[in-house]
Amino acid sequence: MTTLRTPDPPVAPPASATRVRRRDRPVGRRRKSQPEAFAFLTPWLLGAVALTVGPMVVSLYLSFTDYDLFTSPKWVGFGNFAHMFGGDDRYLQSVKVTLIYVLVSVPLKLAVSLLVAMLLNTRRSANGFYRAAFYAPSLLGASVAAALVWRALFMGGGPVNELLAFFGWHTPSWVDDPQFSLASIVLLGVWQFGAPMVIFLAGLKQIPAELHEAAAIDGAGAFRRFRHITLPMLSPVIFFNLVMEAIHAFQAFTPAFVIGGGRGGPADADLFYTLYLFEVGFQDFRMGYASAMAWVLLVVIAIVTAIVFRTAKLWVFYDDAEDKK
Amino acid sequence: MIALPRTARSFGWHVLCLVIVAVVLYPLVWLAFASVKPPDEILSRLALLPTRFVFDGYTKGWEGAADVGFGRFFLNSFLVAGLSVAANVLSCSLAAFAFARLKFRFRGALFAFMITTLMLPYHVTLIPQYVIFQQAGLVNTFVPLILPKLLATEAFFVFLIVQFMRGIPRELDEAAIIDGCSVYRTFWHVVLPLSKPALVTTSIFTFIWTWNDFFTQMVYLNDTEKFTVPLGLRLFVDTSSESNFGAMFAMSALALVPIVLFFLAFQRLLVEGVSTSGLKG
Amino acid sequence: MGRTTERRTRGRGVAALAVVVPLLLTGVAACGSDSGGGGGDVTITFVWWGSDGRANLTKKAVELFQRKNPKIKVQTSFSAYAAYWEKLATQTAGGKPPDVLNVDSRYLAEYGGRNVLADLNSGAGKAISLADVNPELAATGVYQGKRYAVPWAQNTPAMIYDAAAFMAAGADPAKGMTWDQFADAARKAGAAGTARGVTDFGILDTTLEIWLRQQGKQFYTPEGKLGFTGDDLRRYWELAGKFRDTKAASPADVTASYNTSPEQAPLGKKLTSSEFAYDNLLPAYQKANGKPLNVAPYPSGADGDTGQYRRPSMFLSVSARSQQQEAAAKLVDFLVNDPEVGKIVGTDRGLAPNLKVRAQLAATATGNDKTLYDYEAALEPKLGAAPPVPPKGAGAIQKLLQRTYEEVAFGRMSVDDAVNRFMTEAQKGLS
């Protein structure tokens, strides 16, 4: 995962000089590259128009209608949105479940992945093995197979029950109990900390060892070095991971679908936003309402991301100074 | 810490890592052993090792569901994932090059739009998209699964390659252009080769995500003969005529094998790319 | 530096391509061989829900149809119950539902009322004969005066139970028992072993319906409104609560794991000794549970009325948008009336709707099949007619009942609050 690294890392630029504008300058100073640019963009543009913008416009229209998939849509103005925030208990439940999931699983996952990445950021033998091993769960992603295994592990009488009982804590079937069910899905998310970890690791390797060595000579302890060198130098990677993981968490579907038995789990404890949206649209045939929900989700994700991007200027340091000449 | 001898610290580090490995890999090891346990032992015993090895799960599971063998599901998944990788790498690198290197009108706006689609819940476009493919007579084919990749709708990968290309020293392609290379040749012969680590990353992720994708495939594929592995797995789990945990876990384990192999094969490329060009450079 | 390394390793990209390309080619070849077959003049699609065992039987029946009608090719597909409705909805949304499809009574109004299903009383559907079908059964599948479906099988809501466990508790459910007797037997059966006496039925809409019928009420009125009051529901949940409190019924987490597939239901997983379901599911439960199971009538009120009825277990419908309505109708007629189909599919979906076919099969039945025929034969005079087609939204109400009762079972909500929530949401959903 070399997503954010540069092939030729700069030789330890002073930290103050690395803070630069994010937008780099296009090369077209000498020649106009416009026609070529659109040649390169053609596939993407086609997709954007036919598969993204067009369908988005249609679904935006649908969000202001009653549409049951069978008869033509009926205009209801803001009725769908009004119903969402006044009178639909399940909608509010799905918001609650999703927020808990995002707020708990994302920080937990990032913390675990950063700690493990720092642990692996050495030149000891077997390093590659550990990295591959920690990464393995991420390979499964949101697969049906992974969720099935998880369900079996946390089922009544399954290994987790048995293990906890061994330590004297008798729990019900995690996946079938409203108090534990969401926790099992959060754990599934955290278990897959490998992907952000590998990205963190690639970022950590970009931090010139000289910085740490110089700081150590100056008498800075491990924590101070972490706080004043690692964190700032790693901030673009943290930023990237935070945005990606948050977006993923908001849209989580398959684990909740499989573990919650396709219906939102016991007493709606796993009723993720996307799951409710799916149920409303595809099982209750309320596509208008589902479209409205999708648009609210989109707006919320956009706002959250915008906040992260805005505040990023305060804490993210970009290291592509050589671009700016 | 500093007082500790080097070997002791190293030993402690290995112990810590191995503990994490044990926790992290437990579910996978559990799955591997569950797939060869006698059915009545799978959930009832905490012990990893079965009292006796039973491979019925694999033979029974491989027969698949409803006359369609699991081999067919694998073949379909390979086809879809393979085509998706090729389509995604090609289309996303084209778009990424334009965003990272070329000047054109509305560049900022289009880039911002691209980032927006990154956050787009796919539910927003699902039904209208479905209608488009249905009108074109393409439902129940692999086209709806692959065409979006050919049209670079997965903004994540465009973003990823853009980020990478921005890191490539600009002198290189500027030099190529001064030497008289067209933009196309510069893309093909200079920028693309230098972007290989990002393209490999794209390939790996595309493969894995496509392999694991459940929702889209469930929506677009109808015939059991066209089912992919996740659909086959769910069909199998939901509809097997007895509570056949052994076969379910056997097929789950098998479903993960190609991903692991794919990753291991490309892991070396990745490590090499990072360590040689990134660290020692 | 980095650049030269990049150039040196470029060859590996080619290697990666070399892996992908043959992969694609083999895949494409596989596709080619697939589309080559067939040769029928007309192709129709046919979908149903159920297990792979059911799929194997159904495919055999379809093969027979294709042999007898060489000009018609049938493409089949199936899923589990929940997945089936998900997929059918997307297909329908795209304007192309399958030509022939299975419909459940809970969804008949949903699809029929929205003109997705063809009226089989007119056009090509007239070719479908219901002459030999049990008249009361044949009367089902009609919604708002239009025949949107014909019944493909008949089953009866019933109780499936572990004979030995109830025998040990001193009860014989097959002979019929009152709810009080059943509560007592289930408590004893649960106390004796690791499995509780009965799967908590507070979540089951069918059981609620039967219980209502025992009191002369109904789940839905013919006008499509709820046929019971909040007070009725409260009493039903208090009955279930009595089972729960005495540990006769499954604990909440087991109840929450309930799934309509017998393999994954508590009785199938040996977590309980009895479960309310449908009689045709006996073999599936039997296979999953492993112990000898039997089928019994519902427990009754004091007057002995079990409230059971002749249920169309699975409907066959033809899509209104099908381009091949004649071929589709032909397949439906064949599946309903052909004696050989009856032999092939057996009692998997229930008893054959065609009484002549049913009589033939009953005469030669063995094992579980015989148990079913005997059970239904004994029950036949007592069975009522099926209730009217449930209104649009019945599928959602089935889930609403489960959800709200879970809140009660887990102790997160009082019965009164849960009843209020159910009634409010149900009335909203049905309006």
pLDDT in tens, C376-418: 888 888 888 888 899 988 888 998 999 999 999 999 999 999 9
User: In this structure, what token pair is assigned to residue C88?
Assistant: 């059918």
d(CA C369, CA A316): 71
A–C CB contacts, 8 A cutoff, strictly below: 81
DSSP B274: I
Contact B156, A199 (CB under 8 A): no
- What ipTM does the predicted assembly reach? 0.82
Q: What is the pLDDT of residue C12?
A: 39
Q: What is the pLDDT of residue B244?
A: 67
The answer to whether B249 contacts A295, with C-beta atoms less than 8 Å apart, is no
Contact A136, B256 (CB under 8 A): no
Distances (CA, A) of B264 to A132, B198, C169, C425: 8, 17, 58, 52
Report yes or no: C168 at the A interface, CB cutoff 8 Å. Answer: no
Give me the residues paired with residue A75 across strands. Answer: A65
β-pair type (C142-143, C72-79): unpaired
Q: What is the pLDDT of residue B139?
A: 81
DSSP B64-117: -BTTB-HHHHHHHHHHHHHHHHHHHHHHHHHHHHHHHH---TTHHHHHHHHHHH
Contact C196, C169 (CB under 8 A): no
The answer to whether B243 contacts C268, with C-beta atoms less than 8 Å apart, is yes
Q: What is the pLDDT of residue A240?
A: 80
User: In this structure, what token pair is assigned to residue B6?
Assistant: 């080097």
Report yes or no: C320 at the A interface, CB cutoff 8 Å. Answer: no
Q: What is the pLDDT of residue C24?
A: 37
The answer to whether B130 contacts C30, with C-beta atoms less than 8 Å apart, is no
Q: Which ranges of A121-259 would DSSP assign to H, the alpha helix?
A: 127-140, 144-154, 159-166, 181-191, 194-206, 209-217, 222-225, 231-250, 254-259
Q: What is the pLDDT of residue A32?
A: 57
User: Which chain A residues are Cβ-neighbours of B166 within 8 angstroms?
Assistant: 24, 320, 323
d(CA C414, CA C425): 17
DSSP B190: I
Q: What is the pLDDT of residue B256?
A: 86
Give the pLDDT of chain A (325 residues) as one tens digit per residue. 333 332 333 233 333 333 334 444 444 444 555 788 888 999 999 999 999 999 999 999 999 999 876 678 899 999 999 999 988 889 999 999 999 999 999 999 999 999 999 999 887 777 778 888 888 787 776 788 888 888 888 988 788 888 898 898 888 889 889 989 999 999 999 998 988 888 888 888 888 888 888 888 888 888 888 888 888 888 888 888 888 888 889 888 888 888 887 788 888 999 999 889 888 887 777 889 999 999 999 888 888 888 888 887 777 766 544 443 3
Of A71, A176, A262, the CB nearest to C256: A176
Q: What is the gyration radius of the CA atoms in chain A, in angstroms? A: 24
Q: What is the pLDDT of residue C14?
A: 37
Q: Which residue has the tokens 């079965």?
A: B50
The answer to whether A284 contacts C252, with C-beta atoms less than 8 Å apart, is no
User: In this structure, what token pair is assigned to residue B177?
Assistant: 């252009």
pLDDT under 50: residue ranges of chain C: 1-39
Contact A128, A134 (CB under 8 A): no
d(CA B30, CA A137): 13
pLDDT under 50: residue ranges of chain B: 1, 241-242, 271-281
Pick the closest to residue A281 from A7, A18, A59, A5 (CA basis): A59
In this complex, the chains that touch B, judged by 3 or more CB pairs closer than 8 A, are: A, C
**What's the 3-state SS for C346-401?**
CCCCCECCEHHHHHHHHHHCCHHHHHHHHHHHHHHHHCECCCCCCCCCHHHHHHHH
Residue-wise pLDDT tens digits, B186-242: 899 889 998 888 888 888 888 888 998 888 898 788 777 888 999 888 877 766 544
